[in-house]
Amino acid sequence: MSALPFHRRKDVRLAWRYLIAVLLVIVFVFPVYWLFIISFKTPDEIFAFPPVWYPASIQFNNYAVLFKDGDAWSVWNSLVLASVSTFFAMIFGTIAAYSLVRFKTGGENLAVWIISQRMMPPVAIVFPLFLLYVYFGWVDTYHGLIILYTAFSLPYVIWMMRGYIEDIPLELEESALVDGCTRWEVLWKVVLPMARSGLFATAVFTFIFAWNDFLFALVLTRTEVTTYTVQVTHYFGGQSNFWAKIAAMSVLGTIPVFFTVAVMQRYLVRGISMGAVKG
C-alpha cells in the first residue's frame, strides 16, 4: 500500500469506511424494515414461503383492524402514562436536584441514596408493589401507573439535572435575588431557562423509559390502562402468532418514539455526551 500516493490511500480508506458503514446499516436496520413491512403485507404475503421481501402494494388493513377492535387504544394509554409521568418527574426531579446542588441538602449521602434507587431491579419491588396497589385499589388505574413511573424516573432525572444545574453560574441567581425575585421566581425565571437543553434531553429519555416499560404494566394493568407493550404480547399464541397484529401494533408503538427522537435530536446528542461525561 505504501506505493500509493497519499491522497489515493486516503480515498481507499474512505471507500472501506463507507463499505463497512453500509453493511452495518443493513444489519442494524433490516429488522426494523422487516417489522414495518410485515405490517403492510396481506396475510398471503406474510405466510408465503419463501418469504416475500417487499409487499406488492402498501395496504393499511392490519392497522384498520387494530382501530376497529379498539386495540389501538393501548397506544393512547402508553402516551398518557408516559407523558404525564414525564411531566411530573421533570418538575419534582428538577426542584429536588436544585435543592441538592444549591443548598447541599442531605449532603452526599442523600444524593447517593437517590441514585442507588436507580439500581433496584424492578422485579425485586414489583411483587410487594402489586400487593400495595391491590390494597389501595390502584391496580389498572391511570394514576397508579403514573405515580409508579414518576417515582421510577426520579433518580435518573435528579442525577442528570444535578449535572446541568451545577453548570449554571451562581451570579445570575444572586443578582435575580437582589433584584427582589422570590426563590420560586429565581427557579422559574433563571434556573429553568438556563437548564433548558438539559431539561429537554432528560425529558426525552424519561419518556422513553416509561414508554418502554413492560414488567410493571404487565403486572399492574388488566383491561382499562393496558399499555401497548402488553398489548403486543397478547398476540403471541402457543401454536401460532397473530403476525399482522404484532407488526402493526409494534409500529404504532414505535412511531411516537421515532417522532420524538427526530424532533429532539439536537438536544439528545448533547444530552448523551454531557450526561455521560459528567456522570
Partner 1 sequence: MPAIAVHPDRNFKYWLLTPAIFLLLLVGLFPLIYSLIVSFMRIDMMDTDTSFAGLYNYANLFKDSRLWWSLAHTLLITAIALPIELLLGLAMAYLFLEKMPGRQIFIALLVLPTIISPIVAGATWRLLFDNKYGPINQILGWFAGERVNALWTINPTLVYPAIIFCEIWQWTPFMFLILLAALSNVDKSQTEAAEIDGARFWRSFRYIVLPAIWPVMAIAILIRGLDLFRIFDIIWALTQGGPGTKTETISIYAYVQGFKQFETSYTAAIAFLVIAILTIVCTWAIRRMGLAK
Interface residues for partner 1 in 225-244 (CB under 8 A)? Answer: 229, 232-233, 236, 241, 243
Q: Does 158 bind partner 1 (CB under 8 A)?
A: yes
Site pattern 116..145 for partner 1 (x: CB under 8 A): -x-xxxxxxxxxxxxxx-------------
Stretch binding partner 1 (CB under 8 A), from 1-9, 62-70, 194-202, 209-217: 209-217
Angle at 78 between CA 72 and CA 81, to 5 degrees: 145
Q: Does 17 bind partner 1 (CB under 8 A)?
A: yes
Q: Does 215 bind partner 1 (CB under 8 A)?
A: yes
Nearer to partner 1, 5 or 121 (CB): 121
Question: What is the nearest approach in angstroms of partner 1 to the Cβ of residue 67?
Answer: 19
Q: Does 269 bind partner 1 (CB under 8 A)?
A: yes
Restricting to residues 181-200, which ones interact with partner 1 according to CB under 8 A?
Answer: 183
Q: Which of 59, 99, 141, 197 binds partner 1 (CB under 8 A)?
A: 99
Q: Are 85 and 77 spatial neighbours (Cβ–Cβ below 8 Å)?
A: no
Q: Which of 145, 173, 191, 199 binds partner 1 (CB under 8 A)?
A: 173
Return d(Cα 19, Cα 254) in angstroms, integer.
29
Q: Does 1 bind partner 1 (CB under 8 A)?
A: no
Q: Does 254 bind partner 1 (CB under 8 A)?
A: yes
Q: Are 249 and 67 spatial neighbours (Cβ–Cβ below 8 Å)?
A: no
Q: Does 43 bind partner 1 (CB under 8 A)?
A: no
Stretch binding partner 1 (CB under 8 A), from 55-63, 65-73, 191-199, 213-221: 213-221
- Farthest-apart Cα atoms in the chain, separation: 78
Restricting to residues 48-77, which ones interact with partner 1 according to CB under 8 A?
Answer: 48-51, 53
